[in-house]
Structure 1
């Protein structure tokens, strides 16, 4: 977004390829996603998803495959979860729940959906951390009172909303625990309500669907990469930052592992975790950072499968629950599986499938400390700890384990090494009782932070929103509006119609666009 606004931008990428935890990699003709692959609100230009808003502003896109949902594999029975089909969902609730379960679900939706709509009504692209927010948010003022009035509900644990809705049904409670966990690795009694309300509003919106970029997640990363370079930004690969150079309390630039020093004219932006950013700063420059809870790490399984004899009705995604009676965040209890070659056959050789399974945020790093990668002990322990992944894959896709032609197992040490993550952690989280994660600004002048250690936290849309927030700190109000809001008036007008209902605001927007067209300065800070 800074490159789009005309800033001189240099991205120092530690690896030889971009994308971080969302990058793709190739092995023996298979194209694998390293991490997230479940997206929504990306294939349509009218969306509240921050990622879609950024792609719109950059003039970039992917070729998107759309699909209806994912398959749940549970001890009580399997079912298809279809987003955007509430009638189908209520049939599932009636099947697995008690006699009053559907009634309780409707009561929960009556409370949750309005909160979700409020949280979606102000796009991440409009947010700023200074008084310029008065201008960038003025068109959304009609929604601000509702947002402020419901502030305590947004920060409260989602279990409070379950209580307020009178939800007693065990299946519904387990389902919402699962939704909270896959969103940000927290159960419902700890997870803040705001992101859950947003997700529910999104998933249960009539006609909703999920998106997957053809070519894999690497295709999405390529679109963002083009968005940087087409606006004269630069990306340097194999440029690992060893230190943030600072003097007199101000960040001056970075020192690379090669010894090269790069000075910043305006600011240094770190998207490393809170723990890794602290390690990059000189001793005298560190400040008392917030103390978020450290999520556990991952076990990963990437498989190349012969498709012969495998089910013909495989969905793109599965969630496998080992035991509903255990806490949802118990080690090995939830396995997420994706088979993207189902919708994008070119990701695997002919007659083959690529499969990615992982245990998210539940693998203790302590078990792996001191192990030497590549040792026989390490390899044996990897296979032992990956056993729940193989079991889940076989449950979800019968016959898969007999058809393995390529097998890659990743551990917390893999995660720490390739993602440059402190202890291979999934990320930080702040329980609802501990307040919110910090914004992009820091006590070190010239240093901004973004990524999952800043608000809104873990997840692809959240990370994108945090990047927008960091960019907006450095942009004037005029640049902010040009780069993010006024470039996509149709998008915003269709998705946030109430924001454009005020004639005064409409006149202001028209004036700003005319200023841009005539090349005059326009409204400034």
Structure 2
């Protein structure tokens, strides 16, 4: 039995779905958001991993969130608060040395100078170079991307106004590139090339290069020597929500506090949100969407359907093959979801006591930022080489964060939450299955950290292990890919999700994509959701 017709139905209450819904409702649309799980937030949630211990289960830091979204949705009025991290990075080394870094220029000069006087001088110039490129390209990343390919099927579907709008977007993109001036050649290398030769050109210290390289590989199934990792490096320094450009912050109360604020903002604008409402089919009539069907059998009518799910889920699971052109279906089937990420959330009785920087009785500078377990570029390359053969890295790359170092709301007094984001844990294994080896591999990762902080294993009270397969099951992340598809050049800008369909529209009239599978891709930015709403509203 059908209910009243909604103007817009949003599938998935992840952060992009909530952002899209809020903007649509603010424009006067009647909006319904349907969420498969019992909580909103998608992969940006805070969940209890043991009584009294709460963790950001998947996404765990914020930087990329667009300031326009924070302002337009009044997120601070709804409880959103970012806790900055000073320092923001700590790299312990096997030889007993360490590298601290953050937004403090003098700290960076002093710390990098321990390894290389030349690098200490070069680093501010490197930061300035990245900042110039980021500031020039940000308008393009925050805009609906121009379709630069003259594909007949997409050209014919556009009326004069749409063609004119696409031309304007192309001109805006050209102006963004023009702003780069003499930086354009090096910017093009950054956008298309590998991170390793870029870092080698700037620096000589292995510790500094390895620390910076983690931004180039995080969430990607690629080593820093692979083309395309330069863009991932840039992508991770685009945001300012963490307090400064490229600095990532904790959300007080965990990432779920951000999406809870987004939910409140959406509901204040009239959005209806239903949890425990799994969509199993997008329904069509006469070549146009007509609504959705839930797992319960309920059918809900809608003039427009907006999917926050991955392209794989949206186009190959929720839709019948007969409603999409063959060329589009084939393009969707080619999307690369290769992933090698794993998340381990732990409740600790005490802080890690690092050999190279002792102290566990009080929070020190080594505890506040991201702790990088990846001492050299060769270490990272070796970790990738294992994964390429279909086995988890024997010496994994680990980003360890301790949000309770600045946020005391997540654990009992004196206790802590540790979050391990692990590379490389390939989704597709050569031997066995993640259900069989996940616990043992988590033990190996804990042992790696314990090598640097001897008390670490003994301090663990509870743990939650999310293998790549678990990330797919729990958060509907195809292939366990946190970006809804690899951030490779052939899957970026006008090619995301597939060439010819980068403007959030789809071949099915009335169906739009608003998740990270659309431009500009992954990370908690809200840009895909905001842009999708603009496309629906004719902006």
TM bucket, shorter chain? 0.7 to 0.9
Q: CA deviation at 1:123?
A: 7.2
Structure 1 distance, partners of 2:443, 2:249, is: 30
Q: CA deviation at 1:28?
A: 0.9
Q: CA deviation at 1:169?
A: 6.2
SS at 2:43 equivalent: helix
Q: How does 1:159-174 map to 2 (within 5 A)?
A: 159=195, 162=198, 173-174=209-210
Aligned position for 1:196:
233
Does structure 1 residue 474 correspond to structure 2 residue 536? Answer: yes
Tell which deviates more after alignment, 133-142 or 250-259. 133-142
Aligned position for 1:11:
33
Does structure 1 residue 146 correspond to structure 2 residue 165? Answer: no
Deviations, residues 284-328 of structure 1 (Å, cap 9, x unaligned): 124333423222244332222212896122225322126642444
Structure 2 distance, partners of 1:190, 1:91, is: 32
Q: CA deviation at 1:455?
A: 1.6
Q: How does 1:493-504 map to 2 (within 5 A)?
A: none
Aligned position for 2:331:
289
Does structure 1 residue 85 correspond to structure 2 residue 104? Answer: yes
Deviations, residues 169-189 of structure 1 (Å, cap 9, x unaligned): 655654443221127554443
Aligned position for 2:84:
66
Does structure 1 residue 432 correspond to structure 2 residue 454? Answer: no
Q: CA deviation at 1:162?
A: 1.8
Structure 1 distance, partners of 2:317, 2:352, is: 50
State TM-score, norm by structure 1.
Answer: 0.76
State TM-score, norm by structure 2.
Answer: 0.74
SS at 2:508 equivalent: coil
Deviations, residues 42-66 of structure 1 (Å, cap 9, x unaligned): xxxxxxx444321210122213322
Query: 1:6/1:79 Cα in 2 relative to 1: closer, same or farther (>3 Å)?
Result: farther
Structure 2 distance, partners of 1:111, 1:207, is: 12
Structure 1 distance, partners of 2:284, 2:142, is: 30
Structure 1 distance, partners of 2:197, 2:239, is: 17
Q: Is the 8 A contact 2:140 2:172 kept in 1?
A: no
Aligned position for 2:138:
120
Aligned position for 2:297:
259
Structure 2 distance, partners of 1:127, 1:434, is: 12
Q: CA RMSD in A?
A: 3.7
Q: Is the 8 A contact 1:107 1:165 kept in 2?
A: no
Deviations, residues 158-201 of structure 1 (Å, cap 9, x unaligned): 54982895667655654443221127554443226456346446
Does structure 1 residue 354 correspond to structure 2 residue 417? Answer: yes
Q: CA deviation at 1:345?
A: 1.5
Deviations, residues 224-268 of structure 1 (Å, cap 9, x unaligned): 111111100011101111111123432222111111111212x21
Does structure 1 residue 20 correspond to structure 2 residue 42? Answer: yes
Q: Is the 8 A contact 2:307 2:512 kept in 1?
A: yes
Aligned position for 2:287:
249
Unaligned residue ranges in structure 1 (runs of 5+):
41-48, 478-525
SS at 1:454 equivalent: coil
Q: How does 1:45-64 map to 2 (within 5 A)?
A: 49-61=64-76, 62-64=80-82
Query: 1:125/1:7 Cα in 2 relative to 1: closer, same or farther (>3 Å)?
Result: farther
Structure 2 distance, partners of 1:132, 1:306, is: 57
Structure 2 distance, partners of 1:342, 1:13, is: 32
Aligned position for 1:404:
460
SS at 1:276 equivalent: helix
SS at 2:216 equivalent: helix
Does structure 1 residue 338 correspond to structure 2 residue 356? Answer: no
Does structure 1 residue 442 correspond to structure 2 residue 442? Answer: no
SS at 2:214 equivalent: helix
Q: CA deviation at 1:369?
A: 7.0
Query: 1:421/1:141 Cα in 2 relative to 1: closer, same or farther (>3 Å)?
Result: closer
Tell me which of 230, 237, 254 is aligned to 2:268: 230
SS at 2:306 equivalent: strand
Q: Is the 8 A contact 1:120 1:198 kept in 2?
A: no
Query: 1:63/1:166 Cα in 2 relative to 1: closer, same or farther (>3 Å)?
Result: closer
Aligned position for 2:373:
320
Q: Is the 8 A contact 1:74 1:323 kept in 2?
A: no
Query: 1:192/1:355 Cα in 2 relative to 1: closer, same or farther (>3 Å)?
Result: closer
Does structure 1 residue 303 correspond to structure 2 residue 346? Answer: yes
Q: Is the 8 A contact 2:446 2:457 kept in 1?
A: yes
SS at 2:58 equivalent: coil
| More contact order relative to length (CA 8 Å, sep ≥ 6) | 2
Q: CA deviation at 1:96?
A: 3.3
Aligned position for 1:96:
115
Deviations, residues 55-88 of structure 1 (Å, cap 9, x unaligned): 2101222133222202223445553443323443
Q: Is the 8 A contact 2:518 2:528 kept in 1?
A: yes
Tell which deviates more after alignment, 423-432 or 153-162. 153-162
Aligned position for 1:44:
none
Unaligned residue ranges in structure 2 (runs of 5+):
1-22, 148-161, 354-359, 385-391
Aligned position for 1:239:
277
Structure 2 distance, partners of 1:201, 1:420, is: 26
SS at 1:115 equivalent: helix
Q: Is the 8 A contact 1:246 1:282 kept in 2?
A: no
Structure 1 distance, partners of 2:344, 2:30, is: 40
Tell which deviates more after alignment, 297-306 or 166-175. 166-175
